Every structure is written in C-alpha cells, then in structure tokens.
Amino acid sequence: MKINDRFILDIKRLGINGEGIGFYNKLAVFVKNAIPGEGVDVEVTNVMPKMAIAKIVDFKKVSPYRKDVKCPYYERCGACQVMHIDNNYTKILKRDLIVEAINRYTKLNPKSFEIKETINMENPYNYRNKATSSIRYIKGEVSLVMIEEGSNRVLPIENCLVLDDKINKINKKIVEIANIRKVLAQPQSGFSWRYLITRVSKSTRESLVCLVVKEYNSEIEEFAKSITKEKVCDSLYININSDLKGHNIFGDKTIYFSGKKSIIETIDKYRFNLYPSTFFQLNTTQTCNLYERVKKAAKLSHKEIVLDAFCGVGTIGIYLANLAKEVYGIEYNKESVEAAKENAKLNKVNNISFYQGSVVKLLPELLKKDIKFDVYVFDPPRTGLSKDVIDLILKNPVKTILYVSCNPATLAKDLDLLSQSYKVNYIEPLDMFPQTSAVEAVVRLTYKE
C-alpha cells in the first residue's frame, strides 16, 4: 500500500478519535467521518508500519445512521468527531469502544460481566458549561478562535453548538466591547489579551468570566470596567499569564475584579462554588446521572468508610457523604482542596475530611491511623491509575472499588491489573460529551474473598 492508492473499504468499527476503521490486506485503515457499516471508496493519504490513513472519495454504501451536520465549522474544527452520526447509534458505538478496549488490553472476557447500555442525553447540544477560547486578530478585529485540526491555522468561531447558548451570547458581547475599545489581542506578538474563560451555571444561570492577559495595564482595566458596566456577567476575574512560550492557560496571579466572588452550580441538592480555575465536570446534566450511578454502585448503608481519591473539589465525596459513616478525600491540587473544604461547609457536610497530596503518599498514612476503608472511589485523569497506586490497592484491599473513567484504553489496562484481586461486576458507559468520540464509564469491582 502506498499514498494515493484507491480502493473500496468496508468500515468495521469506530476508532477512539471518531474515525471509521476498515481493514485492507489485514492492515487497519483509519478514515475520518466514515461510519461502521458503510462501504467507502477511499484514497490513501499516509502509510505507517501498522496502519494507514485514508480519506473518503465516494460512498458505495451509506449508513442509515448518517445525518446532516448543523455546525458550519465541523469539517475544520476537530473538537467534535461524531456529529455526523445519529445520537441513538452513537451510544451503541461508544459502548463498543469499551468492549474493544477490554478485548485489546486485558485478559478479561467482556461477556463474563455486564457492560450496560450507554446513558445518553436527550438533547445532545448546548451542554458544555465552560468555554476556553484563544484570542486573535482576524482582518483587523478581535475574534475567538480554535486551532484548526491538524494544522497551525486559526479558525474563528462565532457560535458553538455544544456550548451553553448563554456562553455564546456572553462571548459575542465581550468581543463587541473589545472591538469598540480596540483591545490588543495578538498573543503571538505579546500583546495584551490572550484567552477568554467563560462559565455558566446550568442551575442558577449565573455566569463567570476570566480574562487571561499578558499584563495588567490601563487598557485591560478599562476593558474590564466596560464589561462590568454592560453587566455582561455576574462575576469577573483577570488572570495574568506572561509566559508566552508555555502551554498553560492560567498564570500564577488571578485578580478578582467585580461582581460575585464565585458562582453556584448544583448537583441534586448539593451546591458548589465555581471559580475561574475550579475543576468541575463540563456537562452538568450528565454529571447528575454519573453521580447517581456512583451512589447506586456504592451500596452504602451509613456504616461504611469511603476513600474519594483524586477528589478534586470534593463533588463525589460530598454526594456520597450522607449515606456513609465517614469520607476521606485525597487531592494533589492545593486550590482544589481548599475549594473542597469550602464546598463541604457550604453543604453542611460534617463527616468528610480532605487531604492535599498524592494518593501514594497519603493513603498509607491514613491506613497507619487504623482507618479501615470499605469503599475506594477513583476518578483519575485520562492517564488512569499509576502502577504505584494499583500496587497500593492490591496490598490494601477493600470490599468495593468504584472506578470512574474517561478513557477506555487506560481503564482497560488498569482493570487488567486490578483483576488479580478484584472481580468486575459491571461497567456502565455514559455519554458525557455528545458529538465527540469520548465516553465516560462507571465500573463496580468487588474483592475476591
């Protein structure tokens, strides 16, 4: 096989990045925007030792689940990967991603435990409660942009279909103010305005805006005063990030400018303070569903001691606390631990404690205090659990583990190691990010006595 070769390809399954995958002479061929079940005439664009990349030239068989895409940026943006697939079929494909990962990365038989149907959203649009936008000058005007997929080109975005529509309206108004005030916005040249962070609470409809700037100067101050005067948002912050070569959005210094110090989001009956850099799930509606599944899987009876590892701002631990005897949260990020303590106080939850540091360091210290955990809850980043954490779990077993995953591949690899001592009861997928290829999952494991 070589570049520019053309052939007919039957698409067999979906890849983790939303591509259709077929096989030509046993070589996997990845085709953007192709759907399992389709027959496509493709042209090869890249060949590697174990795979090839191809593009669609024509369709020989079109999937009945293919739909028209509403988004004008879809082909270039890359943030969404499966907007061309019917939502009811997407949930089947996302479950298949988990099955495929289990088959590929473990010795487990996925038929030996239940992999449930994916929990979908009825309305898979306007769900994201936070936007992070880069700022550029386009044709002499400030624009919010994304970096075009597979390139360094910028793509101006005026209205994103997966963002809460209030975010789109706030962003549009701020850009209008910036253009009236002629705010300098070319980060590659070191000019003032670099990023715009916008959050909206799904429950209270409060909004928070953070301007990330190279430096705090009179231009930025007057810009912020105009945003305040126009009552664009409920809370306004300015973050200073002067590191033009780094990849971090936020700098070390954040200045509260006007309005409320924080906005409130609710999950069920619980309230949580949100600040500019607070980690919080981006889909509030599905987060409610996720935490309900975690609570159901925990099967708590007011007698259990629970560890909430990678606890962030304490959301899962606080959600479980009223059904547990005691909850201990561990989180590496110092700001998140402070927010977690604040959230526990806000919700009058008194049987939860938070500790700042790594799980590998702090869990042994808690065990030395003769704390006997009944349930471990893990909600790690996409990289999953480290081998050190897994070794610690295996050496200090508990009755039940609940694993919340956002990455099927790392989940499968971790389950393969945990299965030495634990039985997988079930996996329940959840579509936390509709229109994308990402899939969340809740896994319940029990100790093999």
Say whether 233 is catalytic: no
How far are the Cα atoms of 78, 81, 139, 197 from residue 45, in angstroms, in the given order? 18, 19, 33, 37
Task: Specify the 3-state DSSP secondary structure of 239.
Answer: strand
Which of 88, 213, 197, 190 lies closest to 133, judged by CA?
197
CA–CA gap between residue 166 and residue 122 (Å, rounded): 19
**Where do the H-state alpha helices sit in 200-322?**
218-229, 284-298, 315-321
Residue whose C-alpha is closest to residue 311's, from 295, 286, 332: 332
Strands in 178-296 per DSSP E: 193-200, 207-213, 235-240, 253-259, 263-267, 270-274
- Whole-angstrom Cα distance, residue 392 to residue 262? 37
Alpha-carbon gap, residue 211 to 237, rounded angstroms: 6
- Pairing between strand 27-31 and 51-61? parallel
Active-site residue identified among 71, 160, 233, 406:
406
Which residues touch 402 (CB under 8 Å, ≥6 apart)? 294, 297, 298, 375, 376, 377, 378, 442, 443, 444, 445
With DSSP H G I counted as helix, E B as strand and the rest as coil, what are the percentages for the chain, rounded to 5? 25, 35, 40
| DSSP string across 289-358 | HHHHHHHHHHT--S--EEEEET-TTTHHHHHHHTTSSEEEEEES-HHHHHHHHHHHHHTT--SEEEEES-
From CA 382, how far away is CA 290, in angstroms rounded?
17
What residues have CB less than 8 Å from 130, skipping those under 6 apart?
167, 197, 198, 199, 200, 280, 282
Catalytic site residues? 406
